[in-house]
Amino acid sequence: MLPNHIEDCMKIPFLMTIGALLVSGASGQLPGGIRYVSMGSSYAAGPGVGTPDHASGACGRSMSNYARQVAGWHHFDLVDVACSGATVDTILVHGQHGFPAQIEAVTPDTKLVSILIGGNDVGYVGNLLGLSCRDSGGTACHVGDAAEVARRLAALPGRLDRVIAEVRHRAAGARIVLLGYLPAVPASGGRDCVGLPLSPADIGWLRGVSIRLARVIGQAAVRNHVGVVRSSLIGAGHDVCSTTPFVTGFHPPRNPGWSRPVAYHPTQAGMDRLAAALDAAIAD
C-alpha cells in the first residue's frame, strides 16, 4: 500500500514576493520574428485542448497550447516539438512517434526556449491514472512503486540541469524558461470529488509527489539562472475538484476534435493561464 503522505514535501519555502513566485525571468523584451522552440511533454503539447495539429501525430499538439498562443501574440517563429509522453531522454537522446529528439530543434539562432518536462520521468500522471483506475475498481491498472518514484524524483534535478546545459550549448544567447505542472490534486481534501476517484492515502501520496515535482523544477530554474513559471501556484484553487479546474478529471468529456478524452491534463482555461504566465515571464 502506498504511503499517504510525504512529510518533507508539504511545504514550499516562500522566499520571494507572490508576483516573483508565479513567474520570473531574465530582463528585456524579446522582438517579434525570433525563433522560439517549445519543448516538453503532454502538458506542453496540449492533447484534448482546442483543435489538434494533425501534423503532430501521436505527439498530440494543440493549436491553442500555451506556446502557440505566446508565439501568435508576439509573431515569434515557433518550432513546437512538445510531445505527449516525453521524458528528458526523448528531449536529449532519442525522439518518439517518428520525430527526432526535441533538442534537435534548438539551433544557434534560437532566442527563446520553453521547457516543461519531468512528470513522465517520475511517473506522475501515470500514477494518477493507474491509482484512479485501481481505486475505482479497475483490474488492469498500472501503478508504480513509491520507492521508485522517490528515486526518480531524486535523480530529476541532474536531468533538468543536463537539458538546460545542452540548450545553452546549442543556442548560447537563448532565453530559457522552465514551466511546472498544473496541479490535479487539491491542496487538501478531495475524497468526495467525482473527477478524482482516489483513496485518501493515494490522494496524500500524489499530493506529495506533485509538491516535490514543483519544487524540483523551481529549484532547477533558480540554480541555473533561467526563467520559471510556477504552475503549482498559478493552478492553486483550480485543481480537478474545483469549480474552475485547470486540469481535467479522470473521466473528462471528449473534445469533438480529438479521438479520445484526455484525463488529468490541462484544460483550455489552464493553457490560457500558462500562456499568460509565460508571456509575463519573457516580458520581465
Catalytic residues: 42, 265
Alpha carbons within 13 A on the beta-carbon side of 283: 9
Contact 175, 227 (CB under 8 A): yes
Contact 198, 134 (CB under 8 A): no
Residue of 26, 24, 22, 67 whose CA lies nearest to 44: 67
CA–CA distance, 256 with 245 (Å, rounded to integer): 20
CB atoms within 10 A of CB 215: 19
CA–CA distance, 93 with 105 (Å, rounded to integer): 13
Amino acid at 118: G
CA–CA distance, 181 with 119 (Å, rounded to integer): 8
Give residue for cell 528531449: 91
CA–CA distance, 153 with 63 (Å, rounded to integer): 31
Q: Which three cell numbers stand for residue 160?
A: 533538468
CA–CA distance, 148 with 274 (Å, rounded to integer): 30
Distances (CA, A) of 232 to 141, 172, 193, 212: 27, 29, 20, 11
For residue 38, report the phi and psi dihedrals to the nearest 5 degrees.
-105, 120
CA–CA distance, 284 with 269 (Å, rounded to integer): 23
Q: Which residues contact 267 (CB under 8 A, 6 or more apart)?
A: 49, 245, 246, 247, 248
